[in-house]
Structure 1
Amino acid sequence: MTVLFFELHRTAYRSIPFLLNSIQTTQGRKTVTHEYPNQKARFVEDLGQNLRTFEVDGTLTGDILYSVEKRLLENTLNEAGIGIFRHPFLGDINVVVTSFSITEDMTTLGEASLKITFEESTANIFPKQAGDNISRINELVKDLSDIVDGYVANNFTTNYGDNIADASNVLGDFLTNVGQLGSRANTDQDDLNQFFGQIQQMTDNLFPIISNSTDLSSNLSNTLFLYDNLGTDASKRLDLNSNLFGFGSGQVDFPTDTTISIERQKNRDTLDGCINGKSLINAYNAAAQRTYLNDQELASTEEQLEANYQIFISDNNFTESMLADLEEIRNQVNIFFLNLKITVDKIITVITKPIALTVLTYQYYGNLDKREEILELNDIYDPSLLSGDVKILEQEA
């Protein structure tokens, strides 16, 4: 590590660069010492691990811009709140400056010695304990699925022949779409046979199914259940449902100036709402059950679910109780994410001069167990020689 340390001599705080001479990292435990009067006894209460403190010795140097750079760095170090310190080995770290000094020697004009104390800091967030969080998510999935089924049964009507034909076209598009997505699933053949058997049964009986809203609700529910079941794990279930979400987004709304057109548009909205609602509900359920390899995967899933949620609530006609339950499952999954962020592996970026991936991996972790993971995190052309910014997984504390 010594050679690598001295090669990585440039650093920055809040994007203001300076040269790095040395870093001392302090860690330990949070403790409370209990002393007892007139007794030769002491109890040290362990309150968990402390975050890191970094004592940095650095140098600021420049020529005609030295005074400007010094003033900029000084102002930056005095800023309140959390800033990002780029550590040469550990990458970007959220810290707060607790003290600093700038020493200028009159014999070396245009240069200053820096001593800065950074204390690692998290955002001012106090995660709510999940408790029976997963159980509550599962309950909401069941409740919401039942609500959606009931919504279709109670709101889909076909009093006009033209609207039966239109609904048949919409359902035909859905069956084609979901069939294509399902065919890509690498899953058990029996599950595929059951899924495509359901699609064929609906295709062969579209008109009688559409003519009875209860049968329609039941068949849609079975199809979407079997589609979700094609995912052999939670990650694949999440992908399947995320890919299906957005069905009907390209449809053009009808002018609702006649009773026929009003019914037609309502039926389309009901079908789209059912398909997208179930897809979103199942995606939330899968997201709370999958394994996340790192914080980047977690953040990507969180962003995707939130984007789909906002799309869904902006364009639907569901009841207030259904939307309230949907908001709760969203909040419950977000609580799950918040708790998971404490323990999930975090991707950080380190800066390195030309070095082999194998050497970098061993220097950082003391073994080569994470070599393939680092290779996947980076677009590395030649693993025998890499340099610059490299994404790695932060070492466990």
Structure 2
Amino acid sequence: MEKTTFNPTVIRKDFPILNREVNGKPLVYFDNAATSQTPRQVIDVIVDYYSNYNANIHRGVHTLSQEATDKYEQARIKIQKHFNAAKSHEIIFTSGTTHSINLVANGFTSILKAGDELIVSAMEHHSNIVPWQMLCERTGATLKVIPMNEEGELILEEYLELLSDKTKLVFCNHVSNALGTVNPVKTIIDAAHKVGAAVLIDGAQAAPHIKADVQELNVDFYTVSAHKMCGPTGVGMLYGKEEWLNILPPYQGGGEMIAEVTFEKTTYADLPHKFEAGTPNICGGIAFGAALDYMNAIGFDEIAAYENELLEYATERLLAIEGLRIYGTSENKTSVISFNIEGVHPYDMGSILDKLGIAVRTGHHCAQPIMDFYKIPGTVRASFSFYNTKEEIDILVEGVEKAKAMLL
């Protein structure tokens, strides 16, 4: 797809939902970290699939099945190229990041033993904490935590002290969903590999903003959800190095993931099918590829530059409001602002903003340990995408000031 000239006014026309009103006000959508909106180019691909070649994939001899299979596997190759995986079979289609992480955690059940150690960061989403806690319960392994500081940055000196020859796995998000912090994942990966540990990076929040190169990172596993980057819900990917994917056992049994089945013994299919039991989200996979085409046509460098402009503008304007505190002040962060106003509960703020047509997220953002660190019940989170504008940020600031006047 040819590259387009970046123009947010033109880009907004690609997103039908941005034309609607909420509570009689034009929609201002600032909940992009939870899920991004979907452009008509991706919606058209979904409609085209169900209108013209809806069929089950692989092994079908009829035309519709072959067409669907070709489009699905082409999407896998698009994902491979986007993340620069060495081989297309290192891309496993999943239902999203949570599924991907659980797949890996389940696989390590037969590898870990009592006394082994896992390391997780203090700023993880619950989906990158709970599966590892469950793995520790099954195996007797121990979970250790990389601490963070007041700015919302990991304390790398303490991480290096946690590493030892007992460390088998390290988990960290590329970008914090609650704070927007971009973590130094290359440093984390390199240090883990020196002690022989594997690393899984949760890329769900990074993927809309950063074009990760899995070979350059030398990461063992990398996870992404399509709905964070203009694609549909219910589909995502797990990247895994071929050698690791060959070691891990299948996560689920069923059709598609087998080579041969008898009542005496079953042999498993080659990668990637070994991990893709059952009928997949075929349309979702194809639409995921279309979403990558769309974002790459705009350009990730252009997206990052514009979103950083929005972040700086919103930060300056919000900090001018008396009593407002921003959580997550790392210099290296993406376009997420988590904030509270002293004396105002985040839920109350979010409810009033919704009445004004402004969609933000409130609560602990599935990152309760971060909220416990700051000793708060939650935050108001405004997260910006490349289809947002400074005019919308002005509306947010007015809304926050109005809510503050009503609640204090």
Higher strand share: 1
Relative to the length of structure 1, the TM-score reads 0.25
Relative to the length of structure 2, the TM-score reads 0.24
Bigger Rg, structure 1 or 2: 1
